[in-house]
Amino acid sequence: MVYFRLIFVLFCISFLSNAQIKKEFSYNHIVGKSNYFLNKEPKHGLIPKVADSFNSMKAAAKLDGIEIIMISGYRSFNDQKNIWNKKFLKNELNGFSVDENIKKIIEYSTIPGTSRHHWGTDIDIVDGSYNIDGDVLITEKFYGNGPYVKLRKWLDKNSHKYGFYQVYTNDKNRNGFKHEPWHYSYAPISIDILNLFLELDLKKIFISNKIMGASYLDSVFIKKYKEEFVLGINSYLKIKK
């Protein structure tokens, strides 16, 4: 009898936990349409617990001579849509077919509504100790004689202590987006949001929001996109079954 009561209690705790997660992270939050991040500090907009962990990691890195700065944190649906449509139009003018266009864009950029940056758990970071002109989020700058090698090595050793894991690793067996040594995610929260995200009707999101190329994003494409791109991530950031 005691055993069955224990099982029942554990089931209720699990149920309440899932219910709380769904209540806190609504549909609008997951797809980047929430007002939650408006006027939030820091200015890049992170969930408070994520911001606290980031600040702790930043302080620890500073003791080792590394000045972590956030290039990008929260990104709204409209921000991602502008990025997507701008790239789509540019590629279209260069003669890309719709198929070629989308494949080119998703080498690095997510489809609006599917970006992890919508969640307030993900960050793009560099070492602010270096003044670099132009685009700083370039893979080569994190390797060889690049300015962010020290940062990358420090993160490889320490980021997990603060709950952060590199999302798109350099694992050759990983599918999806290309390697991004600057992109980290706060696992204690992002894993739960990913679980909710996978329940969404992506086709409806793409069509209703007039994303360029949406007609090409059919059920076959979406299934492959989820398997290879959404789930083509660090194993530490995947749902634990």
End-to-end Cα, the chain, rounded Å: 28
Give the CA distances from residue 107 to residues 46, 116, 148, 229, in Å, rounded to whole numbers and listed in that order: 25, 15, 22, 9
127 neighbors 150 (Cβ within 8 angstroms): yes
pLDDT at site 34: 84
pLDDT tens, per residue, the chain with 241 residues: 544 443 333 334 333 344 545 556 789 999 999 877 655 554 578 998 999 999 999 999 999 999 999 999 999 999 999 999 999 999 999 999 999 999 999 999 999 999 999 999 999 999 999 987 788 999 999 999 999 999 999 999 999 999 999 999 999 999 999 999 999 999 999 999 999 999 999 999 999 998 999 989 999 999 999 999 999 999 999 976 5
Domain count, the chain: 1
Evaluate the omega torsion of the peptide bond into residue 188 and state whether it is cis, within 30 degrees of 0: no
User: Residue 198 sits in a domain of what CATH number?
Assistant: 3.30.1380.10
183 neighbors 71 (Cβ within 8 angstroms): no
How far apart CA 83 and CA 42 sit, in angstroms, is 23
pLDDT at site 145: 94
Structural domain including 170 reads 2-237
pLDDT at site 13: 36
pLDDT at site 205: 93
